[in-house]
Structure 1
Amino acid sequence: MSDNRAVAYAGAGKVEVIDIDFPSFTLQDGPGVNPASVGRECPHGVILKVVSTNICGSDQHMVRGRTTAPEGLVLGHEITGEVVEVGPGVEFVKVGDLCSVPFNIACGRCRNCKERKTGICLNVNPDRPGAAYGYVDMGGWVGGQAQYVMVPYADWNLLKFPDRDQAMEKILDLTMLSDIFPTGFHGCVTAGVGVGSTVYIAGAGPVGLAAAASAQLLGAAVVIVGDLNEDRLAQARSFGCETVDVSKGDPADQIEQLLGVPEVDCGVDAVGFEARGHGDGSATEAPATVLNSLMDITAAGGSLGIPGLYVTGDPGASDEAAKKGSLSLSLGTGWAKSLAFTTGQCPTMKYHRGLMMAILHDRVQIAKAVNARAIGLEQAPQGYADFDRGEATKFVLDPHGLLGAA
């Protein structure tokens, strides 16, 4: 088989495209690989030729040096690909199948998987529940920003597209099924979004925009997106969202101008631990800002969906507590208002088939909502740099030049 090229973390602020080994069904040692996993056999896996793999805001946290990711870690957890080889334990997935890969790695056998909690599988990470491709402390599975990648527990994990030609026509939409579309949708579902809801989504990056499109799909009456970046706010307005520029002050005042009241039914945090202050403090990092703001502006008895990433190890944090994931939350506000909170990885498999059907039957145009753009694998460093500067684009890597007119 051919060699393999991949995108790797090369130190704070840097990624590079490197040569790596072609994947096998035995886990090898390497940067970020959990020592307890080295030598693990995966006869239940398949090898994919990667058709598309996306740059994610979660990847950017590592690339900025805001995690304990080691240099040389192969990045990428948003993967769509064609099966080119199957392990001896694979029964239903076949060579030639075009599939979406959930970013969560799940065994399908443990208690949590059987309860559809695939974001916290008990068998795929020796250190704690939950695993993902190409991510620090997530089990050491090799990332998919590459030409080829191994996917374990393939019969369980992979979502096969029913028609290859139809899928390739909509590949820029379908590539969002691996993470940001289900993640944004999960944020809305756990926030209680439904027909007639008013919704505030903090963050107009790709996950926030995916959450906004999801809220519309779920029947929300008004979707308001808040951010500091005018280009990203303009992208939200392009598909019918209202917007709030939080650099101009507290969201409550701007929400009141839109709705007549300073609160919404449902709140979604699509920012995470690199949040900044509002108003005059918008230039200063303040990691608890979004969560405290959402508690203030969500109506009593409402819910907060929190798909934004929070970590237990942030060496670049502004204070010692935040370096360990301890934030100054106004939990009393949440208690007094009887608010419900849902955090953690989205259980992608809970949603991805339904969202696939919505895409295939033209119920949603998620690629347009997040402004998806395909670039070559070798252009990944520039894509990371542009994304880090706040460009309102979801960069989709095309390792084999297969996206073409898509």
Structure 2
Amino acid sequence: MRAVVYADVRTVDVREVPDATLEAETDALVRITSTALCGTDLHMYDGRTSAEPGLVLGHEPLGVVQEVGAAVQTVRPGTRVVIPTHLFCGTCVMCARGLSAACLRARAEGPGAAYGYAGMGPYRGAQADLLRVPWADANCVPLPGEPGDGYEDDFVLLADAFVTGWHAAAALAEVEPGDTVAVFGAGTVGLLGAYSALLRGARVVYSVDGVDARLDKAGEIGAVPIDFRRATRSSRSAPTGPGPGCRSARRSWAGSTRSSTRSGSRPATGSTPTGSVRTRSSPTRPGWSTPSARSRSPVSTRTGTHTPAPARTARRTWSRRGERCSARGWRSGSVAPTTAVTQSCCGTWSSRAERDPA
């Protein structure tokens, strides 16, 4: 079969490699119809990992089941499936808790495994004609339609990119109806994070970038494009709310002005009705510890400006290791912290609260 193979630093080849085969009765063999590139592939391409020449790359596959082992029950040959990046057993204690990216059985050296990635197990990647999928009942997600139909390019995003954007909006930033959101970076994951925030009911989502094509796409999906090269609202701005491709939650977009001070912060006396800006982050890879912040800043819905913060607006820093947290107060009379959500090329999200000088 043909596959994209890591050859050396900044060198990849398309080569003939041995066909993937079933190795266990719980395996499935999937013929790949589409597979996406990922920013994390650049770590290997640029020589920042222990990748050995000959490694088959890729971890974002969509395809059709070609063969299954005797113990597979939920998919059959001919089933169209999308396959998550992190393979998992589905039955260990971590998988049972919903932490499948830290599966304890997929890799002997430690928790978690992935296709086609250095240090993440012996599994060949998905940029190939065929892919062996262990624990097929857990890892193959059936989809409707036929290969090459109008949903092909959309469904392949479900392997990694869309779920990363959704995780940023839903789990990390905890976007809720009426929130105002800014996403810095309008690459694939940044755009999908912005779109996910709109699906979650955000009142307005600002998408900040400096590439014309990205700004155009941000406007198409319903975000407000901000061109940082001009430091002004882009002429590509579009009405807020999801684009024409979304049919699920249009009722939330009419610009809700629902007040909220969910953190317990209270606006100054005589201030106008408030909305809330919310952000929260935590590492997206097991064992990583990245500073993050969660804040709710009173924002005037009439003037669009920040109202003075209360004497003690708590800033909380979370760590995944041991679930530790610490808090510190902002100085009385300072400007309330504004929120920022940033995205790296590998889809890892973080957020921070920045305070203007008092």
Q: Do the two structures share a fold, i.e. TM-score over 0.5?
A: yes
Counterpart position of 1:22: 19
Q: State the Cα RMSD in Å.
A: 3.6
Q: 1:185-211, CA deviations, whole angstroms, 9 ceiling, x for partnerless residues?
A: 011012111211111223211111111
Shift of 1:310: 7.6
1:11 aligned onto 2:8: yes
- Decide which of 139, 144, 157 is 1:157's aligned counterpart: 139
- Identify, as 1 or 2, the structure richer in helix: 1
Q: Which amino acid aligns with 1:184?
A: G
For the residue of structure 1 that corresponds to 2:42, the secondary structure is helix
Matches within 5 A, 1:6-405: 6-26=3-23, 42-161=24-143, 163-165=144-146, 168-190=149-171, 191-246=173-228, 302-305=278-281, 337-339=314-316
**Change in CA separation of 1:326 and 1:120 when aligned onto 2, cut-off 3 Å:** closer
| Cα separation, partners in 2 of 1:332 and 1:192, compared to 1, 3 Å | closer
- The runs of 5 or more residues in structure 1 that have no matched partner are 27-41, 252-264, 266-298, 313-324, 345-387, 389-406
- Indicate how the Cα distance of structure 1 residues 119 and 332 shifts in structure 2: closer, same or farther if over 3 A, else same: closer
Return the offset for 1:301. 8.8
Relative distance call for 1:204 and 1:96 in structure 2 (3 A) is: same
Unaligned runs of 5+ in 2: 234-260, 262-274, 297-311, 322-344, 346-358
Deviation at 1:102, TM superposition (A): 1.0
Shift of residue 341 of structure 1? 5.5
SS in 2 for 1:126: coil
Alpha-carbon distance between aligned partners in 2 of 1:343 and 1:228, rounded to the nearest angstrom: 33
CA distance in 1, matches of 2:113, 2:138: 15
Q: Which has the higher contact order (CA 8 A, sep 6+)?
A: 1
Higher alpha-carbon Rg: 2
Contact 1:301 1:340 (C-alpha < 8 Å) held by counterparts: no
Q: Quick one: structure 1 residues 98 and 5, their matched pair in 2 at CA, closer, same or farther if it must change by over 3 Å?
A: same
Alpha-carbon offset, residue 71 of structure 1: 2.5
The letter for the 2-side match of 1:20 is V
CA shift digits 1:41-99 (9 cap, x unpaired): x3211001111111111212322223332222111110111111111221231111111
TM-score computed with the length of structure 1 as normaliser: 0.58
1:306 Cα shift? Answer: 5.7
The answer on whether the counterparts of 1:301 and 1:337 sit within 8 Å (CA) in structure 2 is no
Change (3 A) 1:343 1:330: closer
Query: What is the deviation of 1:245?
Result: 4.3
1:251-297 CA-to-partner distances (Å, cap 9, x unmatched) read 9xxxxxxxxxxxxx9xxxxxxxxxxxxxxxxxxxxxxxxxxxxxxxx
Amino acid aligned to 1:13: R
Paired residues of 1:304 and 1:340 also in contact (CA < 8 A): no
State the alpha-carbon separation in 1 of the partners of residues 316 and 35 from structure 2. Answer: 36
Identity across matched positions, percent: 35
Equivalents in 2 of 1:61, 1:326: separation in Å? 19
Cα deviation, residue 240, structure 1? 2.3
Whole-angstrom CA distance in 2 between matches of 1:211 and 1:342? 22
Aligned equivalents of 2:150, 2:95: Cα separation in 1? 32
Change (3 A) 1:199 1:332: closer
Q: What CA distance in whole angstroms lies between the structure 2 residues aligned with 1:249 and 1:234? A: 16
Query: How big is the shift at 1:24?
Result: 1.8
Q: TM-score of the superposition, structure 2-length normalised?
A: 0.65
CA distance 1:68–1:216, shift in 2 (3 Å): same
Deviations 1:339-362 (A, max 9, x none): 465889xxxxxxxxxxxxxxxxxx
- Which residue identity is paired with 2:18? D
| Residues 207-258 of structure 1 deviation map (CA, whole Å, 9 limit, x = unaligned) | 111111111111111112233434323322232222344566799xxxxxxx
1:231 partner SS = helix
Contact 1:305–1:343 under 8 Å retained in 2: no
- Alpha-carbon separation, structure 2, partners of 1:241 and 1:114: 37
Q: CA deviation at 1:104?
A: 1.2
Aligned partner of 2:21: which letter?
S
